Structure 1
Amino acid sequence: MALVDKTSVREIRRLQTRERLLGAAVAEFKRAGLAAADVQAIVTAAGVAHGTFFFHFPTKEHVLLELERREEERIAKQLTRFTSAESDLAATFTESIRLVRGLERRLGALLFKDFLALHFSPTRPPIDESVHHPVIIAVADQVENAKTFGQVDADVNAMNTAVFFLLGLYALLTTTHGWPAQQTMLDDYVRRTLRSIGAGN
């Protein structure tokens, strides 16, 4: 029994250290951006030894992967709550954009750009692609619902549509950050996406 308790305490401490490192890393990424972020500043802020960072996160990109996982779960939950009361596909796409832009406000310009760029980065750490991203699943579910009710073309692949929509959105947000016409472009993007699957006017 004592061994189980000791292991549990050790695991709790490990998780607490990981959380401190994650919080310190996010703060440093907000300040300096991923490329310029200083690991020494992160471990100093977290109050741990230098090597402890790499025990938990082999690279700085692994921190972003963890942040991505958490933010996708949070956004997917919010989107699912929204779609439980609102089934219109245009509204789903628009709400997806609103939630992702809310993430931009929370992360700040530097970290948000790094966060989105990770999707397209050749140095993105390998992950198990069989585990689907929850935001993609949430959007795909709504596309499938629209297909069931004949609101989009019968040959539409819901999962592909969700992937194309979200990756296009991430690319658009990354390349038009701070543009005065960004919202107009996003509105046009939603309209064109709907038309491409037979749901536009």
Structure 2
Amino acid sequence: MRKSEPAVRSPKGLQTRERLLGAAIAEFKRGGLAAADTAAIVSAAGVAHGTFFFHFPTKEHVLIELETREQERITAELNRFFRRPHTVRDTLGEVVRLLEKMERRLGRNLFKDFLALHFSTTRPPSEEWGKYPVIVAVVEEFRRAQERGEIPADVDVMHNSVSFLVGLYALLITIPADKVVRSPAVDAYLTTYEYGLRVVRPTD
């Protein structure tokens, strides 16, 4: 256990961390991660400059904190969705819908930085892909689809889940949010992945 952890977990430390996180997110929304000014962040949070680095060693650590929270939010929404009747295509579409909902919530600048974090060579060490809650939720749903006979048993659902999400992240980063431009590209992408999963459509 690091010596700093008890201070972070104290009520005052947690409040300070939340203020810094909120101020950093607001700064990232304005101009993105690269242009974000830590001096502006600590000023908005009302703390000393060194306090930021006590809680977040780098600006990317702020995104990792945000990622943890957003993953939990999306996973909870996915699990609620999975309790209703749906198809594999519906599952793919729901992932897109929730990511676009997050894009509206975070704003375009922060959303792009948030997704780009998954491709960063300077990202601080983290758990392997298979430990990400959203990926776990999608993998488990694809396995249930295998049990229902919608996806053949020999399909590697872990590999397909990871590649689907990574490809989708790249697509959403590079294509503008305008539905006229984005929707056809996303529809084509979902069709490609549905075909790759060799989905068996239910007969009438």
Q: Tell me the TM-score normalised to structure 2 length.
A: 0.90
Aligned equivalents of 1:189 and 1:165: distance in 2? 9
5+ long unaligned stretches in structure 2: 1-5
Aligned equivalents of 1:186 and 1:41: distance in 2? 37
> Per-residue deviation at 1:9?
11
> Per-residue deviation at 1:128?
2.7
Aligned equivalents of 1:34 and 1:87: distance in 2? 37
Contact 1:152 1:198 (8 Å CA) reproduced: yes
Work out whether 1:16 is the aligned partner of 2:22.
Answer: no
Specify whether residues 65 and 92 from structure 1 end up closer, same or farther in structure 2 by C-alpha distance, changes over 3 A only: same
Specify whether residues 185 and 130 from structure 1 end up closer, same or farther in structure 2 by C-alpha distance, changes over 3 A only: closer
5+ long unaligned stretches in structure 1: 1-6
Q: Which residue of 1 aligns with 2:165?
A: 166
Specify whether residues 178 and 86 from structure 1 end up closer, same or farther in structure 2 by C-alpha distance, changes over 3 A only: same
Work out whether 1:80 is the aligned partner of 2:65.
Answer: no
Contact 1:76 1:138 (8 Å CA) reproduced: yes
Q: Which residue of 2 aligns with 1:3?
A: none
Aligned equivalents of 2:122 and 2:8: distance in 1? 35
Which 4+ runs in 1 deviate beyond 4 A? 7-10
Q: Which residue of 2 aligns with 1:114?
A: 113
Map 1:10-159 to 2 at 5 A.
11-129=10-128, 132-159=131-158
- Secondary structure at the counterpart of residue 181 of structure 1: helix
Q: Which residue of 1 aligns with 2:185?
A: 185
- Secondary structure at the counterpart of residue 85 of structure 1: coil
Aligned equivalents of 1:133 and 1:10: distance in 2? 24
> Per-residue deviation at 1:178?
3.8
Contact 2:27 2:36 (8 Å CA) reproduced: yes
One-letter amino acid of the counterpart of residue 186, structure 2: L
Q: Which residue of 2 aligns with 1:4?
A: none
Aligned equivalents of 2:23 and 2:71: distance in 1? 20
- Secondary structure at the counterpart of residue 122 of structure 2: coil
Specify whether residues 130 and 118 from structure 1 end up closer, same or farther in structure 2 by C-alpha distance, changes over 3 A only: closer
One-letter amino acid of the counterpart of residue 132, structure 1: K
Greater Cα shift, 9-18 or 57-66 = 9-18
Q: Count residues with an aligned counterpart.
A: 195
Contact 1:194 1:200 (8 Å CA) reproduced: no
> Per-residue deviation at 1:153?
1.9
One-letter amino acid of the counterpart of residue 122, structure 2: T
Contact 2:139 2:161 (8 Å CA) reproduced: yes
Q: Tell me the TM-score normalised to structure 1 length.
A: 0.91
Specify whether residues 27 and 160 from structure 1 end up closer, same or farther in structure 2 by C-alpha distance, changes over 3 A only: same
Percent identity between the two aligned chains: 54
Aligned equivalents of 2:124 and 2:96: distance in 1? 26
Greater Cα shift, 80-89 or 22-31 = 80-89
Aligned equivalents of 2:195 and 2:9: distance in 1? 55
Specify whether residues 117 and 147 from structure 1 end up closer, same or farther in structure 2 by C-alpha distance, changes over 3 A only: same
Contact 1:72 1:133 (8 Å CA) reproduced: yes
One-letter amino acid of the counterpart of residue 188, structure 1: A
Aligned equivalents of 1:181 and 1:146: distance in 2? 31
Q: Deviations over 1:6-60 (max 9, x none)?
A: x799711111100000000000000111000000000000010000000000000
